[in-house]
Structure 1
C-alpha cells in the first residue's frame, strides 16, 4: 500500500518520546511549534544546519491542510485526433498549510507584532546565507508533540490583524502559513512519501548521550559524529534535556 503523501511520524499516541503517562491519566497538552534551522553550509537541500530559532504556537492549530500533486505530460502524435496517454514526469513538492492565531488583549503589548514579523522573516534569506551571496531562507520543520513534518521552507505568510489598541497597535492576528517541501528525493525512496533525509527528530531526556542515540538509531555508536555535525554540537558530552536533535537518515551517514 502506498504511503501517505506527506510522511508524518508520531512517536507515541499520547506525547513525545520520553514522556510518561499513567494508565487512564489525561494526556499531556503538547504545544505545536515551528523549528527553524540554518540551511546547509554547502547551500544544498540535504541535512539542515544547526538550530536557528523556534516559533511557538500560542494556540494549537484547529486543522492542517496537506497537498500533494504530480507533473504529467501528454504527447500527441502527428496526425492523431486525440491526445496520447499522460506520462508521469515527477512529483511536485508537498505543501502544508496551517493557521496560527496570536492574541495579546490581556497585556496589550507588541507580542503579536513580534510574532508576525518573525514569520515574515522566514520568507527572506538568513543573514548567514545573505552574507555569502547564497540567499537561502531558513529550513522549517513543523512539530506537534510526537508529530513531525517534512523539512521545508515557508513559501507564504498572510497575516490579518483583527484587533487594535486605542493607539493603533495590533493585538490580535490570524496568520495563514504555507510550508513547502524541499526537493531532495533520495535514490530508491518512495516518491509519494514526502520524506527527506534527516527528518527524524529526537527529544533529549536525562541520560541521553550521542553514542547511545547513534546505537539506538543506527546500531553503530560511532555514528555520533554524524548527529553532532547535523546539529552543530561542539561538546558531545553535554546534551540539554528538553532540546531536540535532528537525526540524519541512514543513507547520509559518513557523507
Structure 2
C-alpha cells in the first residue's frame, strides 16, 4: 500500500519491562524503550505444535500421533546500528541497551528471585509480531571500526520467545492447575532449578515432572520443550505423595 501524503515513517522499537511479580501475572513496569535506528528489512515469525507418537510394533504401520500442545511464537529480527553519522562515535551504547534485556533486573535480585526483563517488539499497528516475551538470544556482529578500535557498525540478531500465554486448565476451581506455559531446556537445566525459578520452591519439581512424564529430574535433553503448570494457590502436592 502506498504511503499516505504527509504520513511520517513509523519506527520500530523494543519495550523492556520488569518481569511479572508472580507466575501467571502480566509484566511489570516499563524499564526502557529502545528505539530502532533503522527499521528491520525482514521479520521471521515461527510457531510450532508438539505431537507424541508411540513406536508401533507392526512393521510398515505408524501409530497415531497424540497432540501434546502448541508452542510459543518466536520472533527473530536483525537490528542494524550505525554510529558513523551520530555523535556517539560508537555503537557500543546501543548494544548495551539491548544487553540489559539479557540480565536479571535489580528489583528481581533484591527480591532474591533473579529474572531477566520481559520484552515486546512494537512496530506501528503490527499485531502478529507484537507480544510479551523474553529475549532468548542476542548476538552482535561488528562490521566497521574506527582507527582507535571503536566499533562503528553492528548487526544485532534478536530472538524473542513468547511468554505469559495462558491456556485453560482441566479443573480451575480446584486451586491446582490453572494454566500452563512452556520452557525450552538448555544445557545445565534441571527440574529443581526450573521449579525454583518458576515457583520459588525447588521441591516442587515433581509438579513439572508429572506434567511431562519425566522420571529423572536431573536428566533433561537440551532443546526439549517442557510444559510448566501455572499454579493458582501455591504448589499442589503431587499425586502419590499423600
Pick the TM interval, shorter chain: 0.5 to 0.7
Match among 138, 141, 160 for residue 179 of structure 1: 160
Q: CA deviation at 1:121?
A: 2.1
Assess, with a 3 A threshold, how the Cα gap between structure 1 residues 61 and 45 changes in structure 2: closer, same or farther: farther
C-alpha distance in 1 between matches for 2:91 and 2:29: 27
Q: Is 1:159 the equivalent of 2:140?
A: yes
Q: CA deviation at 1:166?
A: 0.2
Match among 6, 9, 12 for residue 32 of structure 1: 12
**Equivalences for residues 167-246 of structure 1 within 5 A:** 167-187=148-168
Check whether the contact 1:97–1:176 (CA below 8 A) recurs between aligned residues.
Answer: yes
**Equivalences for residues 81-160 of structure 1 within 5 A:** 81=59, 82-107=61-86, 109-148=88-127, 149-160=130-141
Q: CA deviation at 1:45?
A: 4.0
Secondary structure of the corresponding residue to residue 109 of structure 2: helix
- After superposition, the C-alpha distances for 1:124-161 in whole angstroms (9 at most, x for unaligned) are 21111122221211111111112240110111111000
Q: CA deviation at 1:33?
A: 0.2
Secondary structure of the corresponding residue to residue 102 of structure 2: coil
Check whether the contact 2:13–2:121 (CA below 8 A) recurs between aligned residues.
Answer: yes
Assess, with a 3 A threshold, how the Cα gap between structure 1 residues 110 and 122 changes in structure 2: closer, same or farther: farther
Match among 62, 80, 102 for residue 58 of structure 2: 80
C-alpha distance in 1 between matches for 2:91 and 2:20: 30
Check whether the contact 2:132–2:164 (CA below 8 A) recurs between aligned residues.
Answer: no
Match among 33, 38, 45 for residue 59 of structure 1: 38
C-alpha distance in 2 between matches for 1:169 and 1:150: 34
In structure 1, runs of 5+ residues without a counterpart are 1-12, 16-23, 189-195, 197-255
Check whether the contact 1:109–1:171 (CA below 8 A) recurs between aligned residues.
Answer: no
Secondary structure of the corresponding residue to residue 122 of structure 1: helix
In structure 2, runs of 5+ residues without a counterpart are 170-180, 182-242
C-alpha distance in 1 between matches for 2:86 and 2:139: 24
Q: How many pairs align? A: 167
Superposition TM-score, scaled by structure 2 size: 0.63
